[in-house]
Structure 1
Amino acid sequence: MAAVASACALTLAGCGTSTGGSGSGSVDTLNEVDYYGSAPQDTQIQGVLNECGAQVGVKVVHQQVPREQLMPKLLQEASARSLPDLALIDNPNLQQVAATGGLVSLSQAGLSTAGLYPSIVSAGTYQGQTYGIAPGVNGLALFYNKDMFAAAGLKPPTTWDELTADAKALTTGSRRGIAFSAVGTEEGSFQFEPFFWTAGADLKNLASPQAVQALTLWKTLVDEGSASKSVVSWTQADVDSQFLAGNAAMMVNGPWQIPTLDAKAGLNYGIVPIPVPSPSAKPVTPLGGEVWTVGHSNSAREAKAVAVVKCLLSPDRSLEWSKDAGYIPSNEAAAAQLGQSDPQLAAFVTEVATAHARTAELGTAYPKVSTALYNAIQSCLAGGMSPQAALSQAQSQAGS
């Protein structure tokens, strides 16, 4: 399997289509591609694909491509009109692929988005048409160590002032009050956006007073020692490791970390929504996760692929997928059901209603602006620039 994956990675377009049912007649095989690399994720995705394939009457062949290779592969295949029948891609990349003209409009194919969160529908929309839909999404919330908070006589923070005070009070010895990822990649932007958007900032003006306020919060936490200076090199997995080791009393992270936290003996933790600047504000988090897309081929294959997507988006399958992947269902009723059955996910369910699609403001320009934003975070926290100067430079780089 490794050899096959390597061959596909090298030839790129050569592994995008299938001979099974390639004509306009009967279709018995569809191809699917995604970047999930771990064994549990592969097993989970193959499971739901098998179920929905059987329901539709096709075999769905699953192919995993390393994350950094998936978009180049898809864009090359789009130019050759040889996209796979089904692809699961990171939602901020949807518009870039849709702009090639290689994707089927799910709106025109009759796929209903009734019952789905509007913010999730917008994440898969390009020029007024739905080209991708997420079966489930993830986001960010504040994890806290209940024992550390109890020992300090504190309650989990709900505002930025409380967050700053609690993080300072909980910092002692090698333990920091809070950990987050400020790494110079999309992860850094993703982690910062809850604070950026909740402050009232928008991606069209990276140097606004609201944006400066959000970056000042992060700089204060680092300057006061409440957060480690190493946050500029920590991924979200590194942040989770710090929390697991007891080196951080709080962390900003997502529901995909819950299985590793639950496996830690003696770890007593809770999860609350991201703190807000003022009591009247509501947290605005970025939508994480992937969307299902259908590549153009012929009417028979497209119809079968759309039918598989409809199955994957059904409330039962969405709930199954979300439980397996650590996501929140896109279907509002299924999400509410999950939040009631699993209190640890209640904060994430609450946040989905006000979450933002990362491409909603800028469309295909998002990646460039995100790069400027995480570079500004790095310049401020590691390079010594003021929040205002770093964000003004970012605005200039983004050219927006």
Structure 2
Amino acid sequence: MNITIRSARNRRLAAAAAAITAGTLVLAACSGGGDATAPEGGESASGGESAELTVWHYFNADNQVQLMDDYAAMFEEAHDGVTVNNVFVPYDQMNSKVISAAGAQQGPDVVVFNGAEWSTLAMAGALAPLNEYWDGYADADQLPDSVIHGMDDNIYAVQGYVNLLGLWYNADILAEIGVEPPTTLDELEAAMATAKDAGYMGITLSGLPQSQGEWQAYPWLTSQGFDYADPDEAALTAGFEMVRGWIDDGFLSQEAVTWDQTVPFQQFTSGKVAFAENGNWQSGAAAADASFEYGVVALPLGDSGKVYLGGEGQSIGAFSANPDLAWEYLQTTYLSPEGQAKAVELVGSIPSRADASQDAAVTDDPLLAPFSQTLNERGANYPDAAVPPEAVADLQTSVGQAWSSALAGQMTPQQAAAQVMAKLQTLLG
């Protein structure tokens, strides 16, 4: 049994257990809050021998801020005379501030944002195309297509690391009931049934009627063969039926329809639940709050199941004063093996580079290794590449609402699937 030993990294994460709150992170592992006024943009110093590089981000938790500070130090050390100015912009203001600045032909050199929202910023003209840089990037083949985002033959954003879902398990409960961490859906359902018979809840997850719900529904729906590129109503119905069946069987609380991704993990760390569908970003919360042994395995999703790759996107501002220097910053920090290793150490995020994801810091860590495995074997572009950029928000809301309605019993799985299919005909064409 893959029992987690609380490592030094987990103890550091425990000190920052509130680092990433689910309401904003679900898709991007981010946290909002605080107050700040973003500057108008970076300025090159006279003579061109020194420069200030301005980086906008929405991090305010200690470990996330430390990552940004470390990235600044890395870049300044490698580029004499350059100063990196990290600027905090509240999460819920990031898009509007970046778009507003671009409207005035100003803005940051580098913007770090919810990766799922790259199309919103790109369609508003706030992000610079990266094609010229990417075409000449020697390590481009280290990054999977699922972390490279663009439209109309232009690349607008990349992800230096990802956050994704796995299956957390209470090792003490599994030992008590005599089952191993599941590797198939049949094993998962059998384990949840045994846990229920022993007086425990089977699983926690989020059933919110919005994008968080669609994010958590996606692995289970695709496990039944559903695919946005070729949507099949029977497969979608089967996905809704499976998880609604967990509620009917007493494995999952119907209250899940009111839970964001924070509450289900709090339920898990209370020690009364066998499993939790949740992300790598919960490592700090687990280390801080769980009084039992725990571990993670890849979500058991059969042959067709896929898992979204969330996390922050990184881009060059459309009106950067130093676009070449901004690209150098991205190469030195987010896209380098050393920079991605820092994200592992400080935040517990999973490197997006193929070589960095196989580093011992990831593969030898019993919590991170299953997420790395999922990235390489089941990682899916988020948002799904089959969804037109202008339809993303509407689709996520529509599927999230149907997911929540099916779990709540407000619709039958068949009705929920039919509603989604009708919407998809409009959105996908």
TM-score by structure 2 length?
Answer: 0.83
Cα deviation digits, residues 258-279 of structure 1 (max 9, x gap): 12212346421121111124xx
Structure-1 separation of matches of 2:397 and 2:86? 31
Match of 2:306 in 1: 284
- What amino acid maps onto 2:73 in structure 1? N
Unpaired runs of 5+ in structure 2? 1-32
Q: Partner of 1:319 in structure 2?
A: 341
1:254 is matched with which residue? 279
1:59 Cα deviation after fit? 1.6
| SS of residue in 1 equivalent to 2:299 | coil
Structure 1: distance between partners of 2:275 and 2:172: 11
Match of 1:37 in 2: 60
1:15 aligns with 2:24: no
How far residue 65 of structure 1 moved from its aligned partner, in angstroms, is 2.2
CA distance in 1: counterparts of 2:400 and 2:69, whole angstroms: 34
C-alpha displacement at 1:306, in angstroms?
Answer: 0.8
How far the C-alpha of 1:75 sits from its partner, in A, is 2.5
1:244 and 1:219 map into 2 onto residues whose CA distance is: 23
Instruction: Please report how far the alpha carbon of residue 370 of structure 1 lies from its aligned counterpart in structure 2 after TM superposition.
Output: 0.6
Displacement after TM superposition at 1:207 (Å):
6.0
Q: 1:381 aligns with which of 407, 416, 420?
A: 407
Equivalent AA in structure 1 for residue 110 of structure 2: L
Q: Residue 105 of structure 1: SS of its match in structure 2?
A: coil
1:235 to 1:130, Cα distance in 2 relative to 1, 3 A: same
Deviation at 1:248, TM superposition (A): 1.1
How far, CA to CA, are the matches of 1:282 and 1:179 in structure 2? Answer: 22
Secondary structure (helix, strand or coil) at the match of 1:343 reads: coil
Q: What CA distance in whole angstroms lies between the structure 1 residues aligned with 2:363 and 2:402? A: 39
1:306 aligns with 2:327: yes
Q: Please state how far the C-alpha of 1:301 moved relative to its aligned partner.
A: 0.7
Q: Cα gap change, 1:221/1:215 in structure 2, threshold over 3 Å: closer, same or farther?
A: same
The residue that corresponds to 2:95 in the other structure is 71
Q: Which one-letter code corresponds to 1:335 in the other structure?
A: S
- 1:372 equivalent to 2:398? Answer yes
CA 1:153–1:6 in structure 2 vs 1: closer, same or farther (change >3 Å)?
Answer: closer
- Closer, same or farther in 2 for the Cα pair 1:69/1:112, shift >3 Å? farther
Is the CA contact 2:115–2:314 (under 8 Å) kept in the aligned structure 1? no
**1:132 counterpart SS class:** strand
- Going from structure 1 to structure 2, the CA distance change for 1:7 and 1:336 (only over 3 Å counts) comes to closer
Deviations 1:274-328 (A, max 9, x none): 1124xxx164100010121001336x61111111011011111111123212111
Match of 2:152 in 1: 127
The 1:395/1:91 distance shift into structure 2, 3 A limit, reads same
Shift of 1:46: 2.0
Counterpart CA distance in 1 for 2:74 and 2:414 is 52
1:166 to 168, 183, 191: 191
From 171, 185, 193, the equivalent of 2:218 is 193
CA contact (8 A) 1:111 1:306 kept: no
- 2:6 is matched with none
Structure 1 segment 238-249 matched on structure 2, within 5 A:
238-249=263-274
Q: What is the aligned residue count?
A: 386
Deviations 1:346-384 (A, max 9, x none): 111111122111231114122210110101012112252
Distance 1:39 1:339 in 2: 22
Give 1:84's match in structure 2, choosing from 105, 108, 115.
108
CA 1:207–1:82: 2 relative to 1, 3 Å:
farther
Give the C-alpha shift of residue 330 in structure 1.
1.2
Deviations 1:43-83 (A, max 9, x none): 22222223223323422222222222212222223333323
Tell me the equivalent position of 1:11. Answer: none
2:238 paired with 1:213:
yes
> Does the alignment pair 1:116 with 2:142?
yes
Aligned to 2:122: 98
Which secondary structure does the structure 1 equivalent of 2:313 belong to?
A: strand
Structure 1: state its 5+ residue gaps: 9-13
Which residue among 280, 296, 310 is the counterpart of 1:271? 296
Query: Per-residue displacement from partner, 1:64-116 (whole Å, max 9, x unpaired)?
Result: 22222212222223333323111111221112222233322222123445342
- Is the Cα contact below 8 Å between 1:315 and 1:334 reproduced in 2? yes
The answer to whether 1:180 aligns with 2:205 is yes
In 1, distance between residues paired with 2:372 and 2:205? 21
* CA–CA separation in structure 1 for the residues paired with 2:141 and 2:128: 22
Instruction: Give me the TM-score of the superposition, normalised by structure 1.
Output: 0.89
Write the distance in 2 (CA, Å) between the matches of 1:236 and 1:78: 33
Q: Indicate the residue corresponding to 2:73 in structure 1.
A: 50
Deviation at 1:172, TM superposition (A): 5.2
Q: CA deviation at 1:144?
A: 0.7
Looking at structure 1, the residues matched to 409 and 99 of structure 2 have their Cα atoms a distance apart, in angstroms, of 35
Query: Residue 335 of structure 1: CA displacement?
Result: 0.5
Is 59-68 or 165-174 further displaced after alignment? 165-174
Q: Secondary structure at 2:41's aligned position in 1?
A: coil
Q: Is the 8 A contact 2:208 2:401 kept in 1?
A: no
Looking at structure 1, the residues matched to 264 and 145 of structure 2 have their Cα atoms a distance apart, in angstroms, of: 27
Q: Is the 8 A contact 1:283 1:351 kept in 2?
A: no
The answer (yes or no) to whether the contact 1:48–1:317 under 8 Å persists in 2 is: yes
Cα separation, 1, equivalents of 2:139 and 2:118: 17
Select 1:62's aligned residue among 86, 91, 111.
86
Q: Which amino acid aligns with 1:195?
A: W
CA contact (8 A) 1:78 1:97 kept: no
Q: Distance in 1 between matches of 2:84 and 2:398?
A: 39
